[in-house]
Amino acid sequence: MTAVLLLAQASGEESKLWWHLARSSGIVAWALAALAVLWGVALATRALGRRPQAPWLLAVHRFLGLLCIVFVGVHLVALYMDPFINFGLDDLFVPLASSWKPVAVAWGVVALYLLIAVEITSLLRQRLPARVWRGVHFSSYAMYVLATVHLLAAGSDRTNPVLLGSVVATVAVTLFFLAYRVVGPGRAASVRRAAASSMPTGVR
């Protein structure tokens, strides 16, 4: 009898392990996505310097994105292994296929595809036209928004005050940097460079 109880307890702990791993890896993946977006927009707005030349600044941005991919992978594996919700491959990769909170899960699925697109084009940046790379890279903002909606709609930790405070803080800082990029000194410098490059040589 004792052996049966211990076996049942061990089985229950194993099922909880996958659920806890899914929750924690999802939160870490969202945090890494938020940091990658914040780091990228800080570089774009020249908040880290007028012309950041240190290669490690861009390397940190890329590392955060790749690390986010890793934790998203852990999140998907843990959800697939978790016996409570019983996700299948279609639930994980097809929007609205899940019977458990289909809309909330769909936000995460779309964010996953945007993340993959951003990372692939980043790795192939030297082989892609600048306009194509830039257009796809701008979708990282949409990815961050969708991942945040997924976190709050599907996550069981959405009422945690620390998590909510982190969401509010990162959203506020991101909006600040975006506003700074549109109306700040970096935007004015970009406009001047674009105007100068479009002028005839003799006029400059």
Examine the pLDDT at 60 and tell me if it is beyond 60: yes
According to the model, what pLDDT value does residue 153 have? 92
Interval 68-109: pLDDT, tens: 999 999 999 999 999 888 899 999 999 999 999 999 999 999
Q: How confident is the model at residue 46 (pLDDT cuts 50, 70, 90)?
A: low
Examine the pLDDT at 54 and tell me if it is beyond 80: no
Q: 51 or 66, which is more confident?
A: 66
Q: Fill in the DSSP letter of residue 40.
A: H
Q: How confident is the model at residue 123 (pLDDT cuts 50, 70, 90)?
A: confident
Q: Residues 168, 198: contact at Cβ < 8 Å?
A: no
Average pLDDT, rounded, for the chain: 81
Burial of 62 (0-12, 13-18, 19+ CB in 10 A): middle
State the CB neighbour count (10 A cutoff) for residue 38: 19
CA 154, CA 1: separation in Å to the nearest integer?
A: 38
According to the model, what pLDDT value does residue 197 have? 44
- Evaluated on CA atoms 58, 111, 123, 139, the torsion sign reads negative
According to the model, what pLDDT value does residue 44 have? 75
Domain spans in the chain, listed from the N-terminal domain onward? 15-175
Q: Which distant-in-sequence residues (6+ apart) come within 8 Å of 116 by Cβ?
A: 69
